[in-house]
Amino acid sequence: MALIVRQDEDEPTSRPAITGLSDAADALNHDAIWQRLESWIRYRYGERSVSWIVNGPGVFTFPLKPATLDQAEQWNGDGWEAVTLAAAPLGYKLDSETYRITATVGTDTVPEAVAEAFRRLAEYLADDADMPATVNSHSMNLGGSLQWQNERPATWKAKALHYSGASDLLRAFR
């Protein structure tokens, strides 16, 4: 296996729209939600350019999907020189050299499981209206013997991907 030394990923020019959100969830920053989902999986939604610096020898397989090879270059001691990579069963065969491999990564076609993960995460993050941001538990006397109480872990936003159930839906895309 070739060694990936560095990965540079551009932001996509656009991201797919997800429907079926409440007004509160729809008002959230959708780019931030996509970034959070994509940090958990190897698939990308919305095309972007990605380049890798890779040391051979071995086989290079795109760590992100879907990917289409745009350009491969080899370091010749003075600069990058275009090369044609030899195909291998799981990617591209690399010699004992340093390569810069550039690809277009991402798609606008979103599987239903990923769309549902987006919805769950967005709705979970939007559901903070009844809880002050700085507390873990909040209670309110509604009069007489009626009392409303809400509790959640202090790490609720950090673990939102898990608490919302989105991470379970994304397991197949890791």
Model pLDDT for residues 56-67, shown as the tens digit of each residue: 999 999 999 999
pLDDT tens for each residue of 113-171: 999 999 999 999 998 655 555 556 656 667 777 776 666 666 777 889 999 999 999 99
- What is the pTM (predicted TM-score) of this model? 0.84
Question: Residue 155: what pLDDT?
Answer: 74
Q: Which residues contact 147 (CB under 8 A, 6 or more apart)?
A: 139, 140, 141
Rounded distance between C-alpha atoms, residue 33 and residue 119, angstroms: 10
Average per-residue pLDDT for the chain: 91
Burial of residue 121 (number of CB atoms within 10 Å: 0-12, 13-18, 19+): buried
Question: Residue 98: what pLDDT?
Answer: 98
pLDDT tens for each residue of 13-41: 999 999 999 999 999 999 999 999 999 99
Question: Residue 60: what pLDDT?
Answer: 98
First to last CA, the chain: 19
Question: Residue 93: what pLDDT?
Answer: 98
Joined tokens for residue 20: 């079926």
Element containing residue 74 per DSSP (H, E): strand 67-75
Q: Domain locations in the chain?
A: 3-131+138-173
For 126, phi then psi, to 5°, come to -75, -20
Closest CA to 36 of 155, 158, 171, 143: 158
Question: Residue 127: what pLDDT?
Answer: 84
Rounded distance between C-alpha atoms, residue 98 and residue 6, angstroms: 11
For 25, other C-beta atoms within 10 Å of its C-beta total 21
